[in-house]
């Protein structure tokens, strides 16, 4: 089995093509919402404020612990959920995912977005968004007095009281960012499952097409292995026959065809003249014979060979 046969054996049709089309629309809506939420949060609209709010209630470490670390020449370690890395990372992956969505839509319209390609792409997207989920829900254990073993407080405790009213809106935005991240990761997992399903259980049309290609390749291989003596060789068509070349035209052939046409037209004129004479009133006209100066009747050839005199067998002029 060659490379072409291996490529032809890979299913190229989706098990549920309409479902893929609807998933594109859902993904577009979630991607726009994610890009808006991530862009609003950059660079530091509410991250440090929520960090400080959790510190005031004893739910996590204090933001000023970084200043103490700098002052005491200790290594600085910013907790992952409160770092700038998470905000920048979310913006980058949202732009990349939106660009990939546009490419997927174009390839799907052109019928080149195959399940195998979809499996690779969405496996990578699942890994990327899984990293974002882990970063947003990472623990904060930098302060032994106020440890945070699980996700940040705005995910586990909500945005109601005792949170300040001025921060409740920011808290909801942070929760929304985390929610769209989880939704996108779940959506990409659905893509991945459908892609695997299409590869393992291809559509009926793909199976029929693969069988036709296999049959055609086998027939071509069998035809190529036949001895060349058994093949029918058709001779070239004969000139002048049906389906063959036209008869060649030479100057002599052209001259004879022209001459035949003139003779035919002369006979027709003669017949027409005789017919008109026959349709007359019955009056007969004598044909005058023009003789030459010597009393002989000149006879002119039809191709202007010159004046010739016709003589009777006795030698007397007619």
How many Å apart are CA 215 and CA 217, to the nearest integer?
Answer: 5
- In angstroms, rounded to a whole number, what is the distance separating the alpha carbons of residues 1 and 311? 96
Task: Please answer whether residues 148 and 140 qualify as being in contact, where contact means their C-beta atoms are separated by less than 8 angstroms.
Answer: yes
Q: Which of 29-33, 218-222, 273-277 has the lowest mean pLDDT?
A: 273-277
Q: Is the pLDDT of residue 209 over 70?
A: no
Work out the percent of the chain whose per-residue pLDDT is above 70.
Answer: 61
- Mean pLDDT over 139-168 rounds to 88
CA 28 – CA 100 distance, rounded (Å): 11
Tokens, residue 293: 């100066």
**Cβ 86 vs Cβ 80: under 8 Å:** yes
Which band of pLDDT confidence, cut at 50, 70 and 90, is reported for residue 16?
confident
Looking at residue 68, its pLDDT comes to 73
pTM: 0.62
Instruction: Look at 309 and 110; give whichever has higher pLDDT.
Output: 110
Interatomic CA distance for residues 189 and 101, integer angstroms: 15
**Structure-model confidence comparison of residues 110 and 306, the more confident one:** 110
At residue 311, φ and ψ (nearest 5 deg) are -120, 145
Backbone angles phi, psi at 307, to 5 degrees: -80, 130
The angle, 0 to 180 degrees and rounded to 10, between the axes of the packed helices 47-56 and 165-200 is 110
Closest among 136, 172, 176 to 36, alpha carbons compared: 176
**Amino acid 73: pLDDT:** 73
DSSP sequence for 268-314? HHHHHHHHHHHTSSS---PPPPP--TTSPPEEE-TT---EEE-B-TT
When the pLDDT of each residue in the chain is averaged and rounded to a whole number, the result is 77
Note whether 115 and 11 are within 8 A (CB).
yes
- The model's confidence at residue 201, banded by pLDDT at 50, 70 and 90, is confident
Question: Closest Cα partner for 54 from 181, 158, 131, 135?
Answer: 158
Helix (H, G, I), strand (E, B) or coil at 317: strand
Prior bond of 294 cis (ω within 30°): no
pLDDT of residue 303: 44
Report the distance separating Cα 137 and Cα 151, nearest Å.
4
**How confident is the model over 64-84, as pLDDT tens digits?**
877 777 777 777 788 899 999
């Amino acid at each position: 089995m060659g490379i072409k046969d291996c490529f032809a054996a890979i299913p190229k049709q989706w098990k549920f093509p309409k479902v893929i089309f609807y998933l594109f629309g859902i993904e577009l809506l979630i991607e726009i919402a994610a890009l808006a939420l991530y862009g609003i949060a950059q660079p530091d609209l509410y991250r440090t404020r929520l960090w400080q709010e959790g510190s005031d209630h004893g739910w996590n470490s204090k933001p000023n612990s970084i200043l103490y670390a700098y002052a005491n020449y200790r290594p600085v370690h910013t907790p992952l959920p409160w770092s700038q890395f998470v905000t920048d990372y979310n913006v980058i992956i949202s732009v990349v995912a939106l660009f990939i969505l546009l490419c997927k839509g174009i390839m799907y319209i052109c019928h080149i977005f195959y399940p195998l390609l979809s499996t690779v792409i969405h496996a990578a997207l699942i890994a990327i968004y899984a990293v974002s989920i882990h970063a947003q829900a990472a623990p904060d254990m930098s302060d032994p007095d106020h440890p945070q073993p699980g996700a940040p407080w705005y995910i586990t405790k909500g945005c109601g009281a005792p949170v300040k009213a001025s921060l409740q809106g920011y808290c909801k935005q942070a929760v929304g960012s985390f929610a769209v991240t989880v939704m996108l990761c779940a959506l990409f997992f659905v893509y991945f499952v459908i892609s695997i399903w299409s590869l393992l259980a291809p559509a009926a049309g793909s199976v029929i097409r693969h069988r036709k290609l296999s049959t055609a390749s086998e027939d071509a291989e069998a035809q190529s292995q036949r001895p060349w003596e058994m093949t029918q060789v058709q001779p070239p068509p004969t000139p002048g026959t049906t389906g063959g070349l036209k008869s060649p035209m030479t100057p002599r052939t052209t001259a004879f065809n022209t001459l035949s046409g003139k003779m035919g037209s002369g006979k027709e004129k003669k017949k027409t003249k005789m017919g008109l004479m026959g349709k007359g009133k019955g009056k007969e006209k004598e044909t005058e014979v023009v003789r030459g100066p010597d009393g002989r009747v000149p006879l002119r050839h039809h191709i202007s060979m010159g004046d010739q005199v016709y003589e009777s067998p006795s030698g007397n002029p007619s």
